[in-house]
Amino acid sequence: MNRTNFSRTFLSVVLLALFLVAPFFVGPYFLHILIMTFLFAYLARSWDLIGGYAGQLFLGPVAMFGIGAYTSTLLGVHFGLSPWIGMLAGGVMGTIVGVLLCYVSFRFGLKGIYFGLVTLTFPEICRVIVLNLDAFGGVNGILIPFKERSPLGALLYMQFAGKIAYYYMSFLMMLLSLYVIHRIQKLKSGYYYLALRENEEAAEAVGVDTLKYKLMVTGIGSFFLAVGGTFHAQYLMMVNPETFFGMDFTLEVIIRSIVGGVGTVFGPVIGSFILTPLSDISRAILGGYQGVHLMLFGAIIVAIIIFLPKGVGEWLGRGYRFLEARFGGKMPVSVKEDKDDFAESK
């Protein structure tokens, strides 16, 4: 193990240990912020698989998120099914809908902005349907009934008393999403997804079945987005059309990925770690002045796209490598990377 690897492993272990013990040292409010940070990191990571890594202009992550949430909730309310099964069912539903939506669009040759518009409008259709069907709870949504007080029942029905269990669950989900992209990058299909982003025509010309790989990547991304929906529904103990099918949510997810660095492994996670606490804390501080914290949010989006169009992740990575080279002794590999980055940015 050389020293670069050592310092990176050391940093990861320290971070992991910090996050594992964190819930015993922070209050419920900060625990909530951390849970939302992990959840958004997970969702942005899942969206980034489709929208960043494979480069499809997929503007409807909230549709899969809502479908996951409503599937598990409806199964739970009507058939008393455990949300764990509902989560899986929701994931499968999300995959089916995502793959169908993309199959139809890609089959008819919709790309770029046109594909973006289809995926942007689709959650609106879902929202209007849910809003108007009493079976889906209409405007008020559905409250998830409280089932059990025993620890076993809590586990079975994913209804934990405190926030700590949700904390670990969301933390695991975030790690899972990172593991998934880590695996995908090594697979042959991972290279095909990259080819979709870099040059679809060229990929097609060398015989890549682009439709198949587009469907695969949307299917995987949709599954994880839908699972995130079930988690959020269980955390809030309710579903409603505005939260689970609203366009705001789509923006919230995508912006995290852009802020951190779209199409990179850690970008979406870094984006969530910057934006989620920022938006929660600014809401707490500026909440008395209606609209100000969202004005700030809008201004941050605009500023980041103008000044850091590639995201902060790249910038942080460069800083980290600089520190490593500065304090870690001789690092021929990382210094070389540093130079490459510099040449690229020129």
Partner 1 sequence: MISATMILQLLINGILRGSIYALAAIGMTVIFGVMNIINFAHGALMMLAMYITYWLFTLLGVDPYLSLVISVPTLFILGGFIEKYLIHKSLDEPEINQFLITAGIMIFIENAMLFLFSPDVKATSVSYKGAAISIGNVIIGLNPLAAGLIAAAITAGLYFFNKKTDLGRALRAVAANKEAARLMGINLNYIYFVAFGIGSACVGAAGTIISPMYYIFPQAGDLFLLLAFVIVILGGQGHVVGAFFGGLIIGVVESLCILVIPGSTKDAVVFAVFILVLLFKPLGLFGKRRQ
Rounded Cα gap, residues 215 and 195, in angstroms: 14
Q: Which is nearer to partner 1, 156 or 296 (CB)?
A: 296
Instruction: Go through 68-104 and write b for each residue having 16 or more CB atoms within 10 A of its CB, e for each that does not.
Output: bbbbbbbbbbeeeebbeebbbbbbbbbbebbbebbee
Decide: helix, strand or coil at residue 143. strand
Q: How far is the CB of 179 from partner 1 (least distance, A)?
A: 25
Q: Which is nearer to partner 1, 180 or 300 (CB)?
A: 300
Residue 247 CB neighbours (<10 A) = 15
| Candidate list 64, 262, 269, 325; residue touching partner 1; CB under 8 A | 262
Supply the DSSP string of 204-232, one letter for each residue. Answer: HHTT--HHHHHHHHHHHHHHHHHHHHHHH
Residue 325 is inside which H or E element, if any? helix 312-327
Q: Which of residues 117-176 bind partner 1 (CB under 8 A)?
A: 117-118, 120-122, 124-125, 128-129, 131-132
Q: Does 297 bind partner 1 (CB under 8 A)?
A: yes
Do the Cβ atoms of 280 and 36 come closer than 8 Å?
yes
Q: How far is the CB of 287 from partner 1 (least distance, A)?
A: 12
Q: Does 298 bind partner 1 (CB under 8 A)?
A: yes
x/- contact string, 97-116, with partner 1 (CB under 8 A)? Answer: -------xx--xxx-xxx-x
Stretch that binds partner 1, among 62-70, 179-187, 222-230, 283-291 (CB under 8 A): 283-291
| Candidate list 306, 326, 327, 345; residue touching partner 1; CB under 8 A | 306
Q: Does 290 bind partner 1 (CB under 8 A)?
A: yes
Rounded Cα gap, residues 304 and 144, in angstroms: 38
By CB under 8 A, name the binding residues for partner 1: 51, 55, 57, 59, 104-105, 108-110, 112-114, 116-118, 120-122, 124-125, 128-129, 131-132, 251, 254-255, 258, 262, 289-292, 294-295, 297-302, 305-306, 309
